[in-house]
Amino acid sequence: MQHFALTIIGRDRPGIVSQVTELLFRGGFNIADSSCSILGGQFSMILIISNPNISTTEQFSDTFKPLEENNLSVYIRTLKEGGEIRSELNGELCMISVYGADKPGIVYQVAKELGDRSINITDLNTKLVGEKQNPVYVMMIEAVLPDTLEIEEVESWMEELKDKLQIDISVRSLATMEL
CA distance 152 to 154: 5
Of 86-90, 136-140, 168-172, minimum mean pLDDT range: 86-90
Per-residue pLDDT for 179 more than 60?
no
Please enumerate in sequence order all residues whose Cβ is within 8 A of that of 37, keeping only pairs 6 or more positions apart, or say none. Answer: 43, 44, 45, 125
Q: Which part of the chain is CATH 3.30.70.260? A: 3-78, 92-173
At 87, is the pLDDT very low, low, confident or very high (cuts 50, 70, 90)? low
Per-residue pLDDT tens for 105-125? 999 999 999 999 999 998 999
pLDDT at 83: 62
Asked if residues 69 and 134 have their Cβ atoms less than 8 Å apart, the reply is no
* Virtual torsion, Cα 105, 110, 111, 117, nearest 10 deg: 140
pLDDT at 177: 52
Per-residue pLDDT tens for 147-177? 888 889 998 888 989 999 999 999 999 875 5
Asked if residues 31 and 63 have their Cβ atoms less than 8 Å apart, the reply is no
At 178, is the pLDDT very low, low, confident or very high (cuts 50, 70, 90)? low
Q: Return the CATH number of the domain spanning residue range 92-173.
A: 3.30.70.260
Residues paired with 93 in a beta bridge: 144
Of 7-11, 31-35, 55-59, 89-93, minimum mean pLDDT range: 89-93
pLDDT at 84: 63
The string of DSSP codes covering 117-159 is TTPEEEEEEEEEEEETTEEEEEEEEEEEE-TT--HHHHHHHHH
If you count them, how many residues does the chain have?
A: 179
Q: Is 4 exposed, middle or buried (0-12, 13-18, 19+ CB in 10 A)?
A: buried
CA distance 109 to 23: 40
Query: Domain spanning 3-78: which CATH class is it, in words?
Result: alpha beta
Per-residue pLDDT for 45 more than 70?
yes
